[in-house]
Amino acid sequence: MRIQLRNYTPTFSKKLNKWKIRGETFNTLEEADVYLKENKLGKYNGQTEKTCTHCKNTLALDKFGNDRDNKINGKQAYCVTCVKEINTERAKQKKQNKICLRCSEKSLENNNHCINHWFIYKSLDTFGTTKYSKELKDIAEKQNWICPYTGDTLIPSINMSVDHIISKKEDPSKTYDINNIQWVTFQANLCKSSLSHDAFILFCKKVLERFS
């Protein structure tokens, strides 16, 4: 008599924010995979390999990335090597066509991202999070895309630089304060360095008086 083994597949519970297998819960899909392997359940009924649907090579399961949306075996259809090659070629094509690497919008001059993703990465660089990208763009628009010190037109990816009005050195508590941010040219920011706004203006006046 042939015994039909039941196929146990990890399912993700949004309510618990955990993976579940027949009453057991796991923090990650990797932990669920270990449980399946140790108990020889579901996709691991003796299975140790999988065929990549791109290169057609049969490889060990650890050569495939995890995919939460794949409810059959929790693994991606393509092996990690094929995924890397496809992503590399896709990025190359996007660069050649001047398309943002993160979406389908036109990329900025001298940059591989569109204006929205440029602000997203500026937010990440400045605050360690992407949530201030809209606020950073709003600040530029309120300035009419003009540097407050030089009067130059500000152009994303060309000459725009995030500046702390009150310097981080003078008041570290202002480092992550969105209200302490303004956009200036790279050159202006280089000259301003660690000075706060008032100190920088005073410095500029001294230079002007010296050479006027």
DSSP 99: B
Kindly state whether residue 68 falls inside one of the protein's structural domains: no
Kindly state whether residue 175 falls inside one of the protein's structural domains: yes
Kindly state whether residue 70 falls inside one of the protein's structural domains: no
Domains contained in the chain, number: 2
Per residue in 120-169, pLDDT tens?
999 999 999 999 999 999 999 999 999 999 999 999 999 999 999 999 99
Domain boundary among 24, 47, 70: 47
Per residue in 165-176, pLDDT tens?
999 999 999 999
Per residue in 55-78, pLDDT tens?
999 988 889 998 877 766 678 999
Are the CB atoms for 64 and 52 separated by under 8 Å? yes
Cβ within 8 Å of residue 105, ≥6 positions away: 99, 114, 115, 116, 117
Kindly state whether residue 114 falls inside one of the protein's structural domains: no
Domain that holds residue 3: 1-47
Interatomic CA distance for residues 171 and 199, integer angstroms: 13
Are the CB atoms for 137 and 154 separated by under 8 Å? no
- The reported pTM is 0.72
Higher pLDDT, 58 or 29: 58
